[in-house]
């Protein structure tokens, strides 16, 4: 009966002998080593972004509308309200959040779940920025109850980019 130590020694000697015999050309190598292959994917970024849906295009439209609304707000007079609210400040907040979340929307295709993050960002911009714009331009506070919901959607959009 052969013990374990003898078996290991026989296998080691056999492997060493086979390696030597392959080295001098008596036996061919068991495996053929292929040269390492470098895989380069040449795909334009716009094609990569299209894989994750319409978010980059929507970000383009959102950015254009933020510029247009920013220009409108910069050149208009805001209505006077009974409560003497600073409607220009409300407008500036809406426009700043609109621009920032437009940029965030452009990065959505890079996250793990782009449709969830993108949906939250789009809903948040509509509800938060839209209601702030409406209030600033008209002085009407009727839609302001939706603003916190929009803000929550924006927060959830950022959180969705993490997971």
Cα–Cα nearest to 124, from 87, 91, 94: 94
pLDDT digits (tens, 9 = 90+) for 63-101: 999 999 999 999 988 888 777 788 999 999 999 999 999
- Residue pair 138/79 in contact by the 8 Å Cβ criterion: yes
pLDDT tens digit sequence for 107-158: 998 888 899 999 999 999 999 999 999 999 999 999 999 999 999 999 999 9
* pLDDT tier at 4, thresholds 50, 70, 90: low
DSSP string, 19-59: HHHHHTTSS--SSPPPPP--------HHHHHHTT-SHHHHH
> What is the helix, strand, coil percentage profile of the chain, to 5?
70, 0, 30
Q: What is the pTM of this model?
A: 0.69
Banded model confidence at residue 8, pLDDT cuts 50, 70, 90: very low
């Amino acid at each position: 009966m052969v013990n374990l130590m003898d078996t290991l020694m026989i296998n080691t000697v056999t492997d060493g002998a086979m390696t030597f015999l392959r080295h001098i050309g008596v036996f061919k190598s068991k495996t053929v080593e292929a040269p390492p292959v470098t895989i380069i994917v040449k795909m334009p970024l716009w094609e990569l972004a299209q894989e994750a849906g319409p978010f980059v295009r929507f970000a383009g439209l959102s950015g254009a509308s933020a510029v247009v609304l920013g220009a409108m707000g910069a050149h208009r007079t805001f209505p006077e309200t009974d409560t003497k609210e600073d409607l220009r400040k409300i407008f500036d907040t809406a426009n700043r959040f609109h621009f920032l979340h437009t940029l965030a929307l452009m990065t959505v295709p890079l996250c793990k779940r782009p449709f969830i993050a993108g949906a939250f960002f789009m809903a948040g911009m509509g509800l938060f920025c839209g209601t702030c714009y409406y209030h600033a331009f008209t002085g009407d506070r009727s839609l302001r109850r939706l603003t916190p919901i929009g803000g929550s959607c924006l927060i959830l959009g950022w959180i969705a980019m993490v997971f």
